[in-house]
Chain A
Amino acid sequence: MDVITLLIDGIFTALQPLNLGLALLGVVIGLFVGAMPGLGSVNGVAILLPFTFVIQQITGSVSSPMIFLAAIYYGAMYGGAISSITLGIPGASTAVATTFDGRPLALQGKADRALVIAALASFVGGTVSTILFTGAAPLLASVALKFGNPEIFALMLLAFATFVGLGGDDIPKTIISICLGLILSAVGFDIISGAPRLLLFDSTAWFSRGIQFLVLAIGVYGIGEMLWTINSTRYKTEMTEARITLGRMRAALAGASEAWKGTLIGSLLGFFVGILPAAGATPGSLMAYGVAKMVSKDPSKFGHGEPDGVAAPESANNSASTGAMLPMMTLGIPGSPTTAVLLAGMVIWGLTPGPRLFTDQPDFVWPLIGSFYISNLIAVVMNLAFIPLFLRVLRMPFTILAPLIFVLSVVGVFAAYQNIYDVWLMLFFGIGAFFLRILNYPLAPAVLAIVLGPIAEPTLRQSLILSDGSWMIFLNRPIAGPITIVAIVLILLPLVGLIRRRLLRR
């Protein structure tokens, strides 16, 4: 049977009432956990994993439990944008980049536009990646295998370079911000030597796990943003205007096409980053944001309410979450924290994820792929339908909203890690971020660094062990080489610009 026949069969299986109901339920749960700060797809999937055992017993099919969990995964990718835009707190780590421009849009009274763009970009991202997945899964799996440590490090270097090279922000400050994030990401136990690092206060309970990404992200974008808003609106009580009428909604839908560039970048880049093991949707969305900013005609608009800045990370996180399914299913290794839990699920249901899954378990694979299409459709429709409801949040005066943000941030961090120390750290980061912002430091690079640091550092050191310390390993390998060169060029580009300006001035 060829792919099309298999896919159509799969879609029909996914459309059976029970599977459709599970997908619907999963999307709703996903939207909810995604929108709740602190709870992300990984929590939703982990909490409901034992329940899938029951589903499997009832349906007797291995694909139904996975359809359910995959729907939660997708729903959460859509849901994450909601609180990022309306409250400015990232609903999940995957939606951090969405706050960069989503929140400014909401403050300008264009929350409806931001939400519509987020929903549609998510849909496009999810669908594009599903099509790529359908057509080329086994082929792409072999590409993923070609990415060893040097290749992955080169890619991380490229991600940092996109933030430094063409940011448009103050470059020294961007670099300092990246370094801050890298230092924070080094806290904890070193993977290579096993030695403890930067365990301040000599306390295992505080730092032995390292600093969790969400602690920083919610600190910076929840507490920090709240303080900033309080500070900047000190003398006036401001109410964010957020009316929604059918007319505005239609206009927003029609206007969404202006973000096509960000959506396209996010869809493709997100998928590619997603299929690389170790990466996942969070780095995917941050990198897509960086690239969208880089290729934009006017990068300075980013961070101040640029539609492409919402579309790129949103399409990327959906696209990457489908992409991350690929190494999970074909190589048996998770591309993201959520797929790690899904992988545990597959083992529980008695499947062996790996290169033979597509051949041995077509009854599992194709209904699941079919459900990707359907879950995405359900998610976009539900999301659009609920936008008026989400906008109500914005009509609250800030005097009510600020305490709400505070409580959600605290509860969110605690829910994610069940550790009170993380709550203190989050508050510390929030206050720190507020002062850095007053001093005009861009904070997105620090957030990027704490996500990519734990990937970049081990791959760098593993590569250097492999090469006996020779840095040429990043240049003389066929895939790593070109990526490294592009990254170096991007980092040097502002320097060239600077020299040129100096010469012209003469």
Chain B
Amino acid sequence: MKLFKSMAFGLAAMGALTAAQSAGAFEPTKPVDFVIMAGKGGGADKMARLMQSIVEANGMSSRPLVPVNKSGGSGAEALVAMMNASDPDHAIMVTLNSFFTTPLRQPGLGVDIMTFAPVGRMAEDTFVLWVHKDEGISSFDEFLAEAKDRGSGWVMGGTGSAQEDQIITNYLNDTYGLEIKYIPYKGGGAVAKDLAGRQINSSVNNPSEALGFYESGDVIPLVAFTDERLPMFPDVPTLRETGQEFAYFMQRAVVGAPGMSDDALAYYTALFDQVYNSPEWQKYKSDKSLLGDYLNGDGLRDYWQTQRERHETILRASGDIK
């Protein structure tokens, strides 16, 4: 079985290699900077290190990917570093939605995300509303009633401010006339722990962040902010089912530095296509309730365009940008 697996890998690798070679035969000539626009230990970081390990373990790249965490300023540091990369052919980055929101909120950075090279979207992370089991709530309707009742006494914890979690919280407040109080945290892990310890009342963690406490029964999912029900939580309805036209995802994509050559882009696209199709990545994707197909090239650019417009509307509505 193992032998078969590695043979399959070898074949896949050879296939990709010839594909890359025919496209112009770019090969990295030195270690590749693999920038992570978040801190160590967060969702993006875990994912980046998993991709690095998959590349390493299967010998997919002749030169190693070297993860570098640049978490400053909600990704501002990473975006600027990529723009100023001295060798754009050896600089790639793992992104979150701050890829859209940070340039919008800080136009002074002069970042235009459409100049980045669209290597590949590896997944879309999902968001689920969680409460502690002792809250005595088992459905989204009960949640709405209870949150309404407690007004600003209901506390939602989330990662960062004016980012994904707060966008969803604002949406709930606006749509249902709630006054949920939002407390920003540094990372999803701390949010999950404070929900388990009942320091806060609810969270909109990614499944990967809340999974440990879900399995132990401490927290329960109420509603998913997706288009379809998640296979992992077949009994949890989506918000769409309640009649609201709202779904929200976090892009997990790899991008190349602005100015990356077409040959290099073709090489990295093929490389991450292989990573995407590896059994390790597919297992991770299903284990952590990630959705989304592999997107690259113009498909990924179009996706960015839509996402940027959407986030601009959201941030304008919340008053975070003028």
Contacts from A to B (Cβ < 8 Å):
42, 46, 49-51, 53-54, 57, 144-149, 188-189, 191-194, 196, 204-205, 208-210, 277-278, 327, 331-334, 337, 339-341, 343-345, 347-348, 350, 352-357, 360, 418, 458, 462, 465-466, 468
Q: Select one of B73, B84, B186, B213 contacting A208, CB under 8 A.
A: B73
The residues of B with any CB-CB pair to A shorter than 8 Å are: 39-41, 45-46, 49-50, 52-53, 56-57, 64, 67-68, 70-74, 76-77, 80-81, 84, 105, 109, 152, 155, 160-163, 181, 183-186, 189-190, 192-194, 196-197, 199, 211-213, 215-216, 218, 283-284, 287
What 10 A-B pairs come out closest when comparing CB atoms? A354-B212, A340-B41, A148-B199, A145-B197, A355-B216, A209-B72, A208-B72, A333-B189, A50-B56, A332-B212
Taking a contact as CB atoms under 8 Å apart, the answer to whether A333 and B193 are in contact is yes
Q: List 23 A-B contacts (CB under 8 A).
A: A49-B53, A50-B56, A57-B57, A188-B72, A191-B160, A192-B184, A194-B162, A204-B76, A205-B77, A205-B81, A278-B190, A332-B189, A332-B192, A332-B213, A333-B190, A341-B41, A343-B46, A348-B49, A348-B53, A354-B211, A356-B212, A418-B68, A458-B186
Contact residues in A for B74 (Cβ distance below 8 Å): 189, 194
* CB-based contact A337/B40 at 8 Å: yes
Residues of chain B with a CB closer than 8 A to A341's CB: 40-41, 49
Q: A50-B52, A149-B199 are in contact. Are A277 and B193 (CB under 8 A)?
A: yes
Q: B51: shortest Cβ distance to chain A, in Å?
A: 10
10 further A-B contacts with Cβ under 8 Å, apart from A205-B81, A345-B49, A355-B218, are A42-B40, A49-B53, A147-B197, A148-B199, A189-B72, A277-B189, A332-B192, A341-B49, A344-B50, A465-B181
**Complex partner residue of A344 from B45, B56, B71, B109, CB under 8 angstroms:** B45
> Is A204 a contact partner of B109 (Cβ separation < 8 A)?
yes
How far is it, in angstroms, between the C-alpha of A194 and the C-alpha of B162 when the chains are bound?
8
Bound state CA distance, A273 and B73, in angstroms? Answer: 28
Kindly list chain A residues whose C-beta atoms are within 8 Å of the C-beta of B84: 205
- CB of B40 within 8 A of CB of A46, answer yes
Give the chain A neighbours of B211 by CB distance below 8 A: 332, 352, 354
Provide the residues of chain B in CB contact with A50, threshold 8 Å: 49, 52-53, 56-57, 64
Bound CA span A348–B40, Å: 14
B190 / chain A contacts, CB cutoff of 8 Å = 277-278, 333
Cβ A204 vs Cβ B193 within 8 A: no
Query: Are A344's CB and B72's CB within 8 A?
Result: no
Taking a contact as CB atoms under 8 Å apart, the answer to whether B80 and A204 are in contact is yes
Residues of A within 8 A of B46 (CB): 343-344, 347-348
A353's contact among B39, B57, B81, B212, by CB below 8 Å, is which?
A: B212
Please give, as numbers and ranges, the residues of chain A lying within 8 Å of B105 by CB-CB distance: 194
A345 to B109, CA, bound (A): 34
Report the nearest A residue to B57, measured CB to CB.
A53
Nearest CB of chain B from residue A450's CB, rounded to whole Å: 16
| A339–B40 alpha-carbon span in the complex (Å) | 9
Q: Are A331 and B40 in contact (CB under 8 A)?
A: no
Report the minimal beta-carbon distance from B89 to chain A, rounded to whole angstroms.
19
Partner of B56, one of A53, A194, A418: A53
Contact A347–B212 (Cβ < 8 Å): no
| A465 engages B197 (CB within 8 Å) | no
Counting chain A CB atoms within 10 Å of each CB, the highest count among B72, B74, B84, B105 belongs to B72
A352-B183 in contact given A50-B56, A145-B196, A204-B73 (Cβ < 8 Å):
no
Report yes or no: B192 in contact with A344, Cβ–Cβ below 8 A.
no
Within the complex, the shortest CB–CB distance from A279 to chain B, in Å, comes to 12
Measured CB to CB, the nearest residue on chain B to A337 is: B40
Expressed in whole angstroms, the minimum distance between the Cβ of A358 and any Cβ of chain B is: 10
Residues of A within 8 A of B287 (CB): 350
B192 touches A333 (CB 8 A): yes
Determine the chain A residues whose CB is within 8 A of the CB of B56 once the complex forms: 50-51, 53-54
User: In whole angstroms, what is the CA distance A188 to B70 when docked?
Assistant: 13
Instruction: Please measure, in the bound complex, the distance between the C-alpha atom of A188 and the C-alpha atom of B71, giving whole angstroms.
Output: 11
Nearest-Cβ distance from residue A50 to partner chain B, whole angstroms? 4
